[in-house]
């Protein structure tokens, strides 16, 4: 599903954000990516989304070497990857319904399919009754539910969540984590970057820890190696 092969990243200012990293994430995995600020985890997320390119090495997503993708091909890659961010990134002048529908319009889904899929997806994340609301009328948790709906409405096989609970109170954060687990149970591969140690320790999923651009831990529940 996702494979990094000897990936390094050096920025123009000389900062080495990733140093010869190799790892594999299988279809259906739920993976936490952890590390302190500046460790390299944000660079990893950006490279998976083709926002940054590695200096060397290969990144394979869904059997495609995305390091070789031309810019005009990048939108097609992002159709296969749903994304959720700490700051929600909703369109402020669009309703809940239209924010989610927009994700389908971008991939040129037909209007009939949009009318069918959007209400179903809003229902899955528990926000269906707010479909006429605008982002400023919603709580942080509700906005993140909309962001999740937008990320999964196209049935993308991969969901990347970059600090999705970072702006939420603890109770709401756990509600969002339950939704992410439910999405994962439907077969979606979830890669979540987070600083939330309590969430990571409680859920006992696979953990990839990055420090100074190097993977220093890659373990599953019980501590066994996940590279097999």
Dump pLDDT digits (tens) for 170-209.
999 999 999 999 999 999 999 999 999 999 999 989 999 9
Contact 136, 105 (CB under 8 A): no
Query: Does any domain span residue 76?
Result: no
pTM of the model: 0.91
Query: Does any domain span residue 161?
Result: no
Domain that holds residue 140: 90-156
Q: Give yes or no for residue 40 having a pLDDT over 60.
A: yes
Query: Does any domain span residue 80?
Result: no
Q: Give yes or no for residue 38 having a pLDDT over 90.
A: no
Query: Does any domain span residue 204?
Result: no
Q: What share of the chain is helix, strand, coil (3-state, %, to 5)?
A: 40, 25, 35
> Rounded CA gap, 115 and 206, in Å?
36
Total domain count, the chain: 1
pLDDT at 79: 81
The tokens describing 72, both together, are 């005009």
Query: Does any domain span residue 130?
Result: yes
What would you report as the CA-atom Rg of the chain, rounded to the nearest whole angstrom?
17
């Amino acid at each position: 599903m996702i494979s990094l092969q000897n990936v390094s990243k050096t920025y123009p200012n000389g900062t080495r954000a990733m140093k010869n990293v190799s790892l594999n994430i299988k279809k259906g995995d739920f993976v936490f990516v952890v590390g302190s600020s500046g460790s390299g985890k944000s660079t990893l997320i950006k490279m998976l989304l083709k926002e940054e390119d590695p200096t060397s090495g290969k990144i394979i997503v869904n059997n495609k070497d995305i390091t070789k993708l031309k810019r005009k091909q990048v939108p097609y890659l992002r159709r296969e990857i749903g994304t959720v961010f700490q700051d929600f990134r909703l369109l402020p002048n669009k309703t809940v319904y239209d924010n989610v529908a927009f994700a389908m319009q971008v991939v040129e889904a037909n209007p009939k399919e949009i009318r069918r899929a959007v209400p179903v997806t809003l229902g899955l994340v528990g926000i269906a009754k707010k479909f006429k609301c605008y982002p400023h009328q919603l709580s942080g948790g509700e906005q993140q539910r909309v962001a999740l709906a937008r990320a999964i409405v196209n049935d993308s096989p991969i969901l990347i969540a970059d600090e999705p609970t970072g702006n939420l109170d603890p109770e709401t954060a756990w509600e969002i984590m339950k939704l992410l687990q439910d999405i994962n149970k439907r077969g979606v591969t979830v890669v979540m970057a987070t600083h939330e140690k309590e969430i990571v320790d409680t859920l006992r999923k696979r953990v990839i820890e990055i420090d100074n651009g190097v993977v220093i831990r890659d373990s599953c529940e019980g501590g066994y190696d996940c590279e097999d």
